[in-house]
Amino acid sequence: MRVALIISAFLVGTIVAPLVWNVQTSRAADDTLITSFSDDNVTAAIQAAGATDVSISKTSSGSKFAAYVYAGRKYRAYFHDCTGDECLGLQLSALFSGAKVPLEAINEYNQRRAGGKATRYSETSFGSNRFVTAIHGVSASNLAFEVANHFTLTDLLLDQLRGDQLISMRAAPPPAAFSDHNGMMTVQGRPRPLVGVTPSIPPGLDPASVNILR
């Protein structure tokens, strides 16, 4: 009996120990503290959240941003409060044009969704935004969750506008999913083409960053 227990303990130890080591090393890598945003750590977070086609570029005025695609939609992450290549602020943004969305609908979303920020740029242009700061540090995994949460918040904004019949939709491909470590947030990317009015890009917004509601 004792021999059997010793053998069992040995087998459990040899099987479980590597698993625990892998989890711990993975967690240590994910929880690397970010004290400023750079091209590399922002790109890594965006890719970890499931986005593709990530590239770093600059606006005509010289402001740096990351462009990326998730579930068929175009997103940007604008770097703010920068000293050289290191920045303390990151604005996650998704822009849309081609639907008449009243200010009341934008205000209603902002009241219901404290984690997100909807902005109305013109009668037919609006955006979904989320701001992240590295002033007190943020882990690499949490930065990826912030990016993923912005996907969810953007979906919620579009869902509300659809519910209000301010925008409409056609058939969509299957959704993609991403959940946070607590299971509290699930991203379902639903790239649904929309039917709206003639797009109108207000001054100051890059047309290449805007999702046209068709």
| Each residue's pLDDT tens digit, 133-148 | 999 999 999 999 999 9
Predicted pLDDT of residue 208: 72
Handedness of CA 157, 158, 164, 167 (dihedral sign): positive
**pTM as predicted:** 0.69
Predicted pLDDT of residue 101: 86
Give the per-residue SS3 of 5-71: HHHHHHHHHHHHHHHHHHHHHHHHHHCCEECCECHHHHHHHHHHCCCEEEEEEECCCCCEEEEEEEC
Predicted pLDDT of residue 192: 37
User: 11 versus 57: which is more confidently predicted?
Assistant: 57
Max mean pLDDT among 85-89, 151-155, 164-168 falls in: 151-155
| Each residue's pLDDT tens digit, 51-78 | 999 999 988 888 899 999 999 999 999 9
Handedness of CA 37, 43, 45, 51 (dihedral sign): positive
Reference 116, options 146, 71, 136, 77; nearest CA is 146
Domain 32-212: assigned CATH number = 3.30.1460.10
Would you state the structure tokens that stand for residue 129, as one six-digit string?
């935004």
| Each residue's pLDDT tens digit, 18-46 | 333 233 333 444 688 999 999 999 999 99
Reference 75, options 60, 105, 96; nearest CA is 96
- Determine the Cα–Cα distance for residues 69 and 46; give it in Å rounded to an integer: 9
